[in-house]
Structure 1
Amino acid sequence: MDYVSLCLIAKDEDEYLQEWLDYHILIGVERFYIYDNESKNPILDLLKDYIERGWVVVHEIKGTAVQVMAYQHCLQIYGENSMWIGFIDADEFIVLPQEKDIKQFLQNFENYGGLAISSVFFGSGGNKLHPAGGQIINYQDRFPLAFEDNQLIKSIVQPVRVQSALSPHDFIYKESYYCVNSNRYRVDAQRFPISIDKIRINHYFMRSDTAFQKKMKRLGGAGRQLDINKMQYWQTIPTEKDTVVLDSIANILDINNQKIFKYQKNEIDFKDFLHKSIKNKLSPKKESIEYKYKINARDFISTHFELNNLIKSAKENHHWQQAKMLLLTSIKELPTFAIRYTGYASTCLILNEYNEAEKTLKIALSKFGRTYEVLRVISDYWIAKKEYQKAEQSFKEMLLIGEEVDTLARLSYVLILQEKYDEAVKIGMKIIDQYLYADALDNEFFKKVIQNCLKILKQTGRPQEAEIFGNKLKNRFPDVIY
């Protein structure tokens, strides 16, 4: 039995796969389950050496929006072959800033159902075309840590403790098991405050400018149309140099990191160096696994996945009564799935059914405790009830678990309602300093909170701070009059 494996669905990732495999072999991954989603050049041919040596199992899976079905197949068919399976993409690399081997790291989390890993997104690094040296050495320009999509998690799970795959990010766990982040805070949703000191995912989402343009034109793996305006805006966000992965490789290989940094961008040398570094691991051959090459994705659609899509559709179309009934059905089917309780309570708040929301939140508290997800909806409940002091306390409790701009903005809002202006403005200034490029600030509510902070600065005789604050807002929202 393997200790840790990775599952990947890929389409036309020819120039990226070897580097992705070599790197993850270097950090201790023992086997790879790859689902070929109609690549022009079959992955079966591209990775022949890895397959023959038993490192890679390849399946053909056809159709669009089949990522979760591939994950479900992997769980059902290969779950008994590996204690842990991680589910990531070919532009994602698991990075261990402190440890040398992912197996040693995961041993610290064997009591849990899964481990949630935060992402850090990287820009194109000025590469017009994909450089020969690969992703790791060429893409070193990271978006700010406050970049909102860094909160998207990816999961490494213990298959025997998982009921089914829910999305490319999160899973439904069996009773008494759940997912945590590297600080052991319970994670119940696919977004969670970023934590990257111990483990993280380098997400080379943009790659080269040419690759990025292609990505904007196609459907994402989860069947969503990529938001072109949003993606184009991302290209304007300031980046920071980040070489944590290169330092990590040097640490694993026990070499001075300058031996890594000597490799020039846009040259094949680094990929060759990486491959040579793991050659000894590739031999001797691993025990092979018998499997059927072609699979039918529709055979691996879980009822929970279908119900989740119905709930999502009802919410997106503001069919709140329908969403409420679907969520209630889901709670009956999955009585230990925390996000269904909070989703149901949130829907009740939208419908002004405060007593039902309160009753549900009490059940969630008794079942799951004061987790980040439960506290989030409790805060909404107190705002709806106009009990702003209690909402403030809940938001501050959330910030002890982790910081995100949404929580900061809503905390500033309830502080303004309580006329605690100094504290509200202090948080507003933090948002402007650290979260100026967060997507949340495009929301009219959050934009209004920040504008109110600026008004308070002007009204309380702080013109210099107001000018600095206002100039930063103008850089972010040039069309808004302040």
Structure 2
Amino acid sequence: MFRFLRRAGQITRIDITPPRPKADRAGIAVVLIVRNEETHIAEWARFHRLAGVSRFIVYDNGCTDGTLAALRTEAPDVVILPWAQKFRDGPREIHNQVLAYAHAVANFGAGFRWMTFIDVDEFLVPKQAASLPQALAHLGDIPQISLPWHMFGRSGHMTPPEGGVLANYTQRNPDPMSDQKGLRNFKMIVDPCRVTSMKVHQIWTDGSPQSWNDRGETTKRENRAFYSADHIQLNHYYTRSDAELRAKIARGPNLTTPDADHLRRVMRKVAAIEENVVLDRAALDWLVRTGKPSKISP
């Protein structure tokens, strides 16, 4: 089912035999690997449920707080799998997040037209349509799209404010296609029954890395002409408050990395995000436009 591709002491890409699509497959599934996000998981799940997500498939990377209970409250049909592990092929560590994503495609992908793989600090925001499935409908038989990060910083908050993420964090870096290291990256929405290879930020479909933007246009993702957030905007709330940023650093990365290297990488990215910011209310505007702002408040 899976084939591992190795590089530089880590396995970060897994090849997949795509699942056979079910005749009645439909909707969009969100795949999440999570550890101790009790504070924010309810808002995240509530928003995406309101945006039309059909099912959450959640990989529990050792939660010890109320994260899973909050998920079950917001989405009683959530699928939760234990996933606290570190696997190696000899000296090479297998990326646990990529392994979860590949497992989700192979075991659940047959039932859905679309599948996406995001974190609790990432929100998929419909820009014109009332829901994510409606925002994807114009793409026809396109097998996948890449959505650039819109990187949000601390918005001046030293400690967690009341009222949730969307209401309080509205300042982001103005350039989703920035050449600054760590600011330009993508998450993807794919047809799981055409997935042939997985990485965290790149997915191959039909044996090809070719990707499309949310307008259905294709070129190299690195080209500025690829940029679009006309139909779906991917908000990445990288830091939240300063206190939460410090806690994020203390938790460490998904792969085993020296602490000092991890700290430098995170703080360099934060500085780049906050060097210049613009106001972005896309998520709040969608809630107002669809008449749902009262349903998202914590």
Q: How does 1:202-241 map to 2 (within 5 A)?
A: 202-221=235-254, 226=262, 227-231=265-269, 233-234=271-272, 236-241=274-279
CA pair 115-232 structure 1, distance change in 2 beyond 3 A? closer
Q: Given the alignment, which residue of 274, 277, 282 partners 2:296?
A: 274
Instruction: Please report how far the alpha carbon of residue 99 of structure 1 lies from its aligned counterpart in structure 2 after TM superposition.
Output: 1.2
CA contact (8 A) 1:151 1:192 kept: no
Matched residues, number:
256
CA RMSD of aligned residues (A): 2.5
Matched, 1:179 2:218: no
Q: Given the alignment, which residue of 51, 75, 97 partners 1:67?
A: 97
Query: 1:106-126 deviations in whole A, cap 9, x for unaligned?
Result: 122231111111121111111
1:96 aligns with 126
Alignment partners' CA distance in 2, 1:86 and 1:235? 24
Aligned amino acid, residue 170 of structure 1:
Q
Matched, 1:29 2:59: no
Alignment partners' CA distance in 2, 1:3 and 1:236? 36
Matched, 1:86 2:124: no
Instruction: Please report how far the alpha carbon of residue 151 of structure 1 lies from its aligned counterpart in structure 2 after TM superposition.
Output: 3.0
CA pair 140-229 structure 1, distance change in 2 beyond 3 A? closer
Instruction: Please report how far the alpha carbon of residue 215 of structure 1 lies from its aligned counterpart in structure 2 after TM superposition.
Output: 2.3
Aligned amino acid, residue 174 of structure 1:
D
Q: How does 1:363-378 map to 2 (within 5 A)?
A: none
CA contact (8 A) 2:183 2:272 kept: no
SS of aligned partner of 1:94: strand
CA pair 176-73 structure 1, distance change in 2 beyond 3 A? closer
CA contact (8 A) 2:154 2:241 kept: yes
Following TM superposition, where does structure 1 have runs of at least 4 consecutive aligned residues deviating by more than 6 angstroms?
A: none
Q: Which has the higher helix share?
A: 1
1:341 aligns with none
TM-score scaled by structure 2? 0.77
1:12 aligns with 36
SS of aligned partner of 2:113: strand
CA contact (8 A) 1:92 1:203 kept: yes
Instruction: Please report how far the alpha carbon of residue 33 of structure 1 lies from its aligned counterpart in structure 2 after TM superposition.
Output: 0.5
Identical residues among aligned pairs (%): 27
**Highest RCO, 1 vs 2 (Cα 8 Å, sep ≥ 6):** 2
CA contact (8 A) 2:185 2:201 kept: yes
Instruction: Please report how far the alpha carbon of residue 232 of structure 1 lies from its aligned counterpart in structure 2 after TM superposition.
Output: 5.2
Alignment partners' CA distance in 2, 1:246 and 1:174? 36
Structure 2 gaps, min length 5: 1-24, 87-94
Instruction: Please report how far the alpha carbon of residue 2 of structure 1 lies from its aligned counterpart in structure 2 after TM superposition.
Output: 3.7
Q: How does 1:9-158 map to 2 (within 5 A)?
A: 9-41=33-65, 43-50=67-74, 53-54=76-77, 56-64=78-86, 65-145=95-175, 147-148=178-179, 149-158=182-191
Instruction: Please report how far the alpha carbon of residue 34 of structure 1 lies from its aligned counterpart in structure 2 after TM superposition.
Output: 0.8
Structure 1 gaps, min length 5: 261-269, 277-482
Instruction: Please report how far the alpha carbon of residue 46 of structure 1 lies from its aligned counterpart in structure 2 after TM superposition.
Output: 3.3
2:285 aligns with 247
SS of aligned partner of 1:186: coil
Query: 1:328-367 deviations in whole A, cap 9, x for unaligned?
Result: xxxxxxxxxxxxxxxxxxxxxxxxxxxxxxxxxxxxxxxx
CA pair 150-105 structure 1, distance change in 2 beyond 3 A? farther
Instruction: Please report how far the alpha carbon of residue 212 of structure 1 lies from its aligned counterpart in structure 2 after TM superposition.
Output: 1.1
CA pair 192-202 structure 1, distance change in 2 beyond 3 A? farther
Query: 1:253-302 deviations in whole A, cap 9, x for unaligned?
Result: 2x8xxxx5xxxxxxxxx6xx3169xxxxxxxxxxxxxxxxxxxxxxxxxx
CA contact (8 A) 1:140 1:241 kept: yes
CA contact (8 A) 1:182 1:195 kept: yes
CA pair 231-118 structure 1, distance change in 2 beyond 3 A? closer
SS of aligned partner of 1:136: helix
Aligned amino acid, residue 21 of structure 1:
A
1:382 aligns with none
Q: Which has the higher strand share?
A: 2
Instruction: Please report how far the alpha carbon of residue 105 of structure 1 lies from its aligned counterpart in structure 2 after TM superposition.
Output: 1.6
2:228 aligns with 195
